[in-house]
Chain A
Amino acid sequence: MASSHGTPPVFNNKVIAWIDHRLPIFSYIEKEYHTFPTPRNFNYFWNFGAIATVMLVLMIATGVVLATNYTPHVLMAFDSVERIDRDVPQGWLIRDLHMNGASFFFIAVYVHIFRGMYYGSYKAPRELLWILGVVIFLLMMATAFMGYVLPWGQMSFWGATVITSLFSAIPVVGDSIVTWLWGGFSIGNPTLNRFYALHYLLPFVIVAVVALHVVALHVHGSNNPTGIDPKGPQDTVPFHPYYTMKDGFGVVVFLIVYSLVVFFAPDMLGDAANYIPADPLVTPTHIVPEWYFLPFYAILRAVPDKLGGVIAMFGAIAVLFILPWLDTSRVRSCTFRPIYKWFMLLLVADVVVLGWCGYNPPAGFFIPLSQVATLYYFFHFLILLPILGKIERPLPMPPSIADAVLKKKAG
């Protein structure tokens, strides 16, 4: 059944051949996941797409099991989650996997986004591939936010209050929209029910967008650390077994780190206040979202005006959509961009600083710090990127991927 590039596969198994003649799923798998020519020079950053996919499947699998035991009612949700931990066989394992899985899914996706930005994977002809990725990121944020509401603890309730109230900043219709989102005049059972329904629905939307993301990826193939397009067979290897093995190894290493948290510090990434049942009459002294939202939360609070803050927060994600056109450099990879490389790492530091600001109460020096960091975030995308592409002189590039690999081996 083996085949080389280009020629259609021949299946010796009669059943597979019969099916494939009518529904070419085996040809598809053969073409896209076996012989698919893939740059030979990936580093381990290229594992994180596969890792994110594994986490998505794991989240859906554990989520479906949790849903069979969860009760979406304001009076019963908290206890039903505790019941999963206490009375459902291995229920604690499923819940620890799911709640920490969200964090590790975001870790994988943040690394994946960083890799895309550092190596210029968003540039032509991969703009739509990148935009689909940003759509996935947005859907993940919505899904994670609504999932965090479901245990109906104090942070669930007050986090939902803060985030849904953002829509009241919209002029004229804001308050009506909030009432519509809540399904009433305060956060209550209708809110919990619709969040539960959407939390179950959106992951399957994510799966669909991931499928489009993969289809778009397979049109022009993957980018690579040099950012140079493969020029022939000497620059590529078949996806299987080379990258199935390398991705498989990366996935297992990632699962080891994930398991350390799941089994030895399952509440490390959560907030203690979420083990207090939701109480609409008691506002926590300090409302913090989950860690993966902290940079955006800091941007929201950095702007003194409520509507301005909401616009800035959504703007921080909106700039990602137009990133392919903000970057004017003709060179993809930061490896050959001696100045931008450092600004890229500075952006990472800036986002970490924003996260730190988001974690702390908006007081003292965290206010000016979050404002400076927010300004820098937008400066990076809206001013630095367009200008730097014009004035930066790239380093000399190797003629091909194979040359780059062989030179590195010799050097």
Chain B
Amino acid sequence: MRRLIVSGAIALAALVAGTGAVVLAAGTEVHPKHQHWHFQGPFGTYDRAAAQRGYQIYAEVCSACHSLSLLAYRNLMELGLTDNQVKGLIKDIVVPDLNDDGQPIERPARLSDRFRKPFPNELAAAAANNGKAPPDLSVIVKAREGGADYIYSLLTGYVPYDKLTPAQIKEFSIGKDDNFNTYFPGHRIAMAPPLADDKVTYADGTKATLDREASDVTEFLAWASEPWMEDRKRTGVRVILFLLALAGLMYAVKRQVWADKH
């Protein structure tokens, strides 16, 4: 019997290990650069300062093309900002609405509003971007294989045309006006390099290198994808501790009950 349990366990382990190996082998594209993220691991939390800087990048750069439709401005308070600070951040943003006569108007954004979309609708977004609407970023970190590492790698993975080898230009049919990205499947990406050194001036005085900007905005987008992550992990620790204690008790009682039958 014990042998059987062991072989079962081995089969299960092989299954798990096998799937893991397959996941790695499945992509033909380059593997994203592995970064250390503050939110990794069973106790990892979001780096509030980085995520706040990341919001600044989103607001000043990404939001020109990409919506973040699942988030409301009030959600920014979860990044450690007070309501007055958030109101300060959004004071210049106007959102579309209808007035009492049913006429379309624009009014200042409130905390309860969803993030303003850069285009009035999907067609307008596509028309302004060579026929393909830029993806919404609300769950982008969960929606890409490689997650945060992939987003970071993509943002830092552009290679200028004059640095490409003739073989690369030929193989991926890159023109002078195309953008080559090492980490994008197929390498030819519609999005021009969005970030560069000193693209923004950080409100908290941090030096805005390309690397810093990319990891900050990734931290922000990781939070946007799963704002409840810290709650999930905290709950998990309690649940596991409770179940371990319960299992110990159950095992003791089970031994006691079975004592006369063995």
Contacts and interface: CB of A to CB of B under 8 A. Distances in A.
Q: Do A and B bind each other?
A: yes
B145 interface: yes
Interface in B225-262: 225-228, 231-233, 235-237, 239-240, 243-244, 246-247, 250-251, 253-254, 257-258, 261-262
Given A263-B239, A345-B7, A409 B257 contact: no
A255 B233 CA distance: 16
The residue among A114, A263, A273, A276 with the most chain B CB atoms within 10 A of its own CB is A263
Interface stretch (B18-26, B94-102, B172-180): B18-26
A34 B69 CA distance: 56
Nearest to B21: A356
A82 B143 contact: no
A237 B261 contact: yes
A245 B256 CA distance: 10
Given A252-B246, A256-B243, A259-B240, A245 B235 contact: no
Contacts of B232: 92-93, 96, 263, 266
Contacts of B239: 259, 263
Nearest to B237: A263
A211 interface: no
A114 B145 CA distance: 33
B250 A249 contact: yes
B18 A352 contact: yes
B5 A118 contact: no
Determine the main DSSP class of A at the interface with B: helix
B11 A245 contact: no
Nearest to B7: A345
Contacts, number: 113
A261 B219 CA distance: 23
Given A92-B228, A245-B250, A256-B244, A352 B15 contact: yes
Interface in A262-295: 262-264, 266-267, 272-273, 275-277, 285-286, 291
Q: How many of chain A's residues touch chain B, expressed as a range?
A: 35 or more
Contact of B236 (A253, A262, A285, A352): A262
A283 to B, nearest CB: 14
B233 A272 contact: no
B22 A359 contact: yes
B156 interface: no
Contact of A245 (B26, B70, B253): B253
A349 B42 contact: no
B143 A273 contact: yes
Nearest to B247: A252
A409 B260 CA distance: 13
Contacts of A73: none
Given A79-B70, A242-B261, A86 B227 contact: yes
Lowest 4 A-B CB distances belong to which pairs?
A263-B236, A275-B143, A249-B250, A245-B254
